[in-house]
């Protein structure tokens, strides 16, 4: 008997299991998470904190933006006319903001203690070791 996977994942073989639980919350099934390996655990924890209070939250994106984690989510799947209260939206923002704050001190490449580096076009959060390895115009 042939096994049938949920979906062919294209080229995302390196996405890792930490982000797998988030898949069912993503609005666009073809979305590729744009975070480095050092942040995957953090993104996973952000998901866990979010899903604990908003079991059906909708994820639009999880990515690095301006040197911190941008976890863009709605409390529930978006509907015309609204599908959540302002208080719920504020609460979810509070959760994701806490993780954005933590991400500023975690190396996006290796997960070590780090700081924001502004020597490149893109602000990156890197530890001392990774700072010397990632090239001028490089992503991770
Ligand atoms: Zn590092």
Q: What is the pLDDT of residues 103-116, one digit of tens each?
A: 999 999 999 999 99
**31 neighbors 61 (Cβ within 8 angstroms):** yes
Ligand 1 center–CA 126 separation, angstroms: 5
Name the least confident of 27-31, 58-62, 67-71, 134-138: 134-138
Residue with tokens 């930490």: 18
Ligand 1 center–CA 65 separation, angstroms: 18
Ligand 1 center–CA 45 separation, angstroms: 19
Per-residue pLDDT for 15 more than 50? no
Ligand 1 center–CA 51 separation, angstroms: 28
Which of 114, 135, 137, 136 has its CA nearest to residue 126? 114
Ligand 1 center–CA 66 separation, angstroms: 18
């Amino acid at each position: 008997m042939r096994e049938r996977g949920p979906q062919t994942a294209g080229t995302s073989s390196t996405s890792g299991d930490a982000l797998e639980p988030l898949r069912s919350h993503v609005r666009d099934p073809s979305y590729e998470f744009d975070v480095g390996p050092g942040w995957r655990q953090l993104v996973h924890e952000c998901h866990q904190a979010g899903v604990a209070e908003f079991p059906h939250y909708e994820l639009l994106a999880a990515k690095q933006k301006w040197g911190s984690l941008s976890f863009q989510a709605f409390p529930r799947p978006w509907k015309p006319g609204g599908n959540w209260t302002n208080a719920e939206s504020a609460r979810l923002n509070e959760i994701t903001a806490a993780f954005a704050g933590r991400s500023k001190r975690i190396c996006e490449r290796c997960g070590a203690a780090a700081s924001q580096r502004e020597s490149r076009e893109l602000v990156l959060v890197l530890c001392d070791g990774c700072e010397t390895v990632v090239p001028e115009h490089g992503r991770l």
